[in-house]
Amino acid sequence: QVQLIQSGPEVMKPGASVKVSCKASGYVFGTYGINWVRQAPGQGLEWLGWISAFNDKTKYAQIVQDRVTLTTDRSTNTAYMELRSLRSDDTAVYFCSRRVPENYYTLDVWGLGTTVTVSS
């Protein structure tokens, strides 16, 4: 079945960078895009950006566009989200999800999330 397997939890210092991975299986990776969404403790969902797994086209949310980079590795069917200059308010669960054109680009399959904690 279609799955997105994310990397494990991270504890980072302020100012550091973190790179979260999202490995896809069960479908042709290059057919769909990958979205990244985060959720701070007790808060709602916040969209960060998406990347086409076909041509690496990206779109970023304004709130993080200066600090985030999305990439893919089609040889391993893996998407990556790197967030730089971490701050305490970047502490959140980071989700990747599959972006499906035939469902009006909604997000039909999600990873379980990666907890990123930023603390000195």
Partner 1 sequence: EIVLTQSPATRSLSPGDTATLSCRANQSVSSTTLAWYQQKPGQAPRLLIYGATSRATGIPDRFTGRGSGTDFTLTITRLQPEDFAVYYCQHYGRSLMYTFGQGTKLEIK
- 46 sits near partner 1 (criterion: CB under 8 A): yes
Q: Which stretch binds partner 1 (CB under 8 A): 14-22, 67-75, 76-84, 96-104?
A: 96-104
Alpha carbon distance 35, 119 (integer Å): 26
- 25 sits near partner 1 (criterion: CB under 8 A): no
Q: What six digits make up the tokens of 38?
A: 């985060």
- 59 sits near partner 1 (criterion: CB under 8 A): yes
Alpha carbon distance 110, 116 (integer Å): 17
Dihedral, 47, 52, 57, 60 alpha carbons, nearest 10: 10
- 97 sits near partner 1 (criterion: CB under 8 A): yes
- 21 sits near partner 1 (criterion: CB under 8 A): no
**Contact predicate 119/88, CB 8 Å:** yes
Between 35 and 72, whose beta carbon lies closer to partner 1?
35
- 74 sits near partner 1 (criterion: CB under 8 A): no
- 111 sits near partner 1 (criterion: CB under 8 A): yes
Alpha carbon distance 11, 120 (integer Å): 9
- 40 sits near partner 1 (criterion: CB under 8 A): no
Q: What six digits make up the tokens of 60?
A: 């970023």
Residue numbers at the binding site for partner 1 (CB under 8 A): 35, 37, 44-47, 50, 59, 61, 95, 97, 103-108, 110-113
